[in-house]
Every structure is written in C-alpha cells, then in structure tokens.
Amino acid sequence: MPIDASRPLAVDLFAGAGGLSLGLEQAGYEVAAAVEYDPVHAAVHEFNFPQGKTFCADVSKISGAEIRKRSEIGDREIHLVAGGPPCQGISMIGRRLVDDPRNALLKEFVRIVLELKPRYFLMENVAGLMVGPHRQLLDEVVESFETSGQYDVVTPVRVLQAADYGTPQSRRRTILVGARKDVALPKYPEPTHTPRTIRGSVPKNPALPLGASVSDALGDLPDADLFEDLLHDDNVAGVAYGKTNEYAARLRGSKKDPTDFSRPRPRIEDEMTSSARTVHTKKSIDRFAGAEPGTTETVSRFLRLHPDGLCNTLRAGTATDRGAIPAGGQEPLNCRAQHPADELDPETITMFIDEPDHLGQGRPGSFAKNTLAALRISLALRSSAFSFCSRLISAAASVVSPGITPASTS
C-alpha cells in the first residue's frame, strides 16, 4: 500500500508492535518507515501499518541511506524520527544494568537521526534514564546531538506522566525532543487532565478535567470467562459489548474522534480480539477475590485495579510475579485485550496470542499522540488538543499539517 506523501513523513525506530506508530498516525503523520528487530513484533507492525515499509532489522546494522532507498521516502524531507530504544537495562521496575548492551542502542538512535536529517526527533524511554548512573547515558545522547552542529535539544529534559494527559494508566516516561538548527524548537506539552490515583481517589475541585478511569476503558468489555474458545485462541465472534461511554466508544471506533487523523481500519462489531484467557487455579482465584480494589494481593503482590482508578505500568511478559488483577470481579490476571484498552490502543489494532511482550514494551498510542501534538513540533504544523503515549507521542506529534482533516486521511 503506497504512502500518503501529502502528510508529514515520520520514521519509527525500535517500533515494536506499533504503539508509537499509532500515536504518530493519530497526530497526522505518515509512518513511511519503521525498524524492528524482533520478527514477530515486526510482522505485527507490518500487519497494522501496511502503507509504510517495516524493516525487520537490527537498528545498529541499518543506515539512514538504506531506510530512504528501500522505502518510499527517497529524497523526500522527513518531518520526524521517533523511537524508544529498549529500556530493560534502565527500567526502575526491572533489573537496572548500566552495562546492558541494549543501552548502546541510545547511540544508534542518535546516529540514525543524524543520517536521516529530519526536522525533529523524539526519543522516549523509562523514567529511570533520568537518575543514578543511567543519567550519564542520557547526558551523552544530549551532548551527541548538541556537538553535531545539526540539532538543538529542548532542555531540561523532562519526565511526562501519561495520566496527566487523560490516559487511565500511570506511566512515567522520559521524553527527549529536539529540532534541526533551521527550525524552531518545540515545547513540552502542558498537562490536559487531572489524573486519578491507583487507589481510585478523586481530587476535589480539580483545575483540569478529570482523566479517564479503568472502568471507562474496560467497562464495556464482555466477560472473557464466558467464552471457552478463548482458552485456546485469542479471538471470538458473536459477543455482545456492554453499554459504552464516549471514551470507550472512541477506542472501539464506534464514535469518531475529531482529533484522530489515523487511517480507518476495519472492525467486526461482534468480535472480541487479542483476548486469550489465562487459566487460574481455584486457590489463586479465591486468594485474589479477597484483595480490595486499589490494593495489592498479599502473596503475588499483584495490584487489583480499582474501577475508578488507574492501571499501573505493565511489564514486558507480565511474569507470574508481576501484573495486575482486573477490577469488578473479573478473572485474576487480565486477559490481554484489557491491557491494550488500559494503554489506549484502539481495538482495530491487532496483537498476536503468543506475544505478551507487545504490552510491556509498548507505548500507549494516545500518550504518543498527545505528546506529539502538544509539543508544537513545527510552526508549519498545527498542534491539536489530544488526550496522551499514543496521546503523549500523538501530544509531542499531534502536529499535523494545515491541510490534513480526518476526511482526507481515509
């Protein structure tokens, strides 16, 4: 499928299943190329974003010239290069290893940006990049851009919280942005919402609109326990969704979001996808049933989601010693459809049954979108008020060219 070259072009590095790409697309960008090392993740990305070129490649082994030559970009100007280098060696909720070889991929991000010469770049990573010995890695990235003579960096670098932009998940991310010397520097987006808490408490008299809750995102989903097919598959047809709210309706695609410039995607109304069930023992079910919403279960330390609160940050793989219990008495460990809903990815985006790593390594599409829009990445591109990592990346890129309207992206 050919790219739409009338939209500002973007390249997504370390693309994973496409959470950041989704935010870019929602903000009005055309993701003309994406690079992802893992072949399954790359296949998922290519399935969901067929219009651009998905490279199944090691970022350290590919050049900017090759990306241009083997995609439809050619000699066209690239507006934005964005990416989230793997963070397992840095994450504050994983094992923090300064000498983890994956940390060297931060420098590869710099190299590709300097080779592609986009107007802007955006790098997102875990909050742990700002503290301790890992801060040196961030400082080296900033120094590399500034000493190149080609780019300025927005300083001080900031950590943004997804919940401040309407996402029903607590996810703090380091966001590094910069601009080519010949264009104006962008600005970090100001919060658009008052966040809820993990425990479900709501601030009195909030100055900003209250952000979405777990129940807003999950309340209309059918009970996965009713469908035996989900024990051996990840989708089922003939389901009836519950009463929806405006937030969930936009996730499901049944209500148009006027600030969403992504391409339309087909969706079967009575089908539930990416929803493989988890099999639990009766002992586990009984133990989890005693956990109050918004608190952690005493043995596993899983969080039981509060319907009026936020989802916690999800780890890649959702191992047996980490995760979250859904709200409202559903099964102890969320079926995977609930994770993308909490992370704000529309239900028209497909994930594969055997790849829970898509989730922990993903970026909520709306968080991405809002970051990209509210950062006002170009004076020639207009920003929009989006909700945030599809809405944080789509606030740093919800920068769309003046001529783009939802109708023109169909």
The CA radius of gyration of the chain, in Å to the nearest whole number, is: 20
Quick check: bond before 156 cis, omega within 30?
Answer: yes
Beta bridge partners of 82: 12, 122
**Residue 103 CA to its chain's centroid (Å):** 20
Helix (H/G/I), strand (E/B), else coil: 86: coil
Contact 45, 36 (CB under 8 A): yes
CA distance linking residue 341 with residue 365, whole number of Å = 10
Contact 293, 316 (CB under 8 A): no
User: What are the backbone dihedrals phi and psi of residue 408, each rounded to the nearest 5 degrees, phi first?
Assistant: -80, -5
Contact 400, 410 (CB under 8 A): no
Beta bridge partners of 288: none
CA angle 125, 131, 135 (to 5 degrees): 75
Helices (H), 49-130: 64-70, 105-116
CA distance linking residue 384 with residue 6, whole number of Å = 19
Please identify every residue annotated as catalytic.
Answer: 87
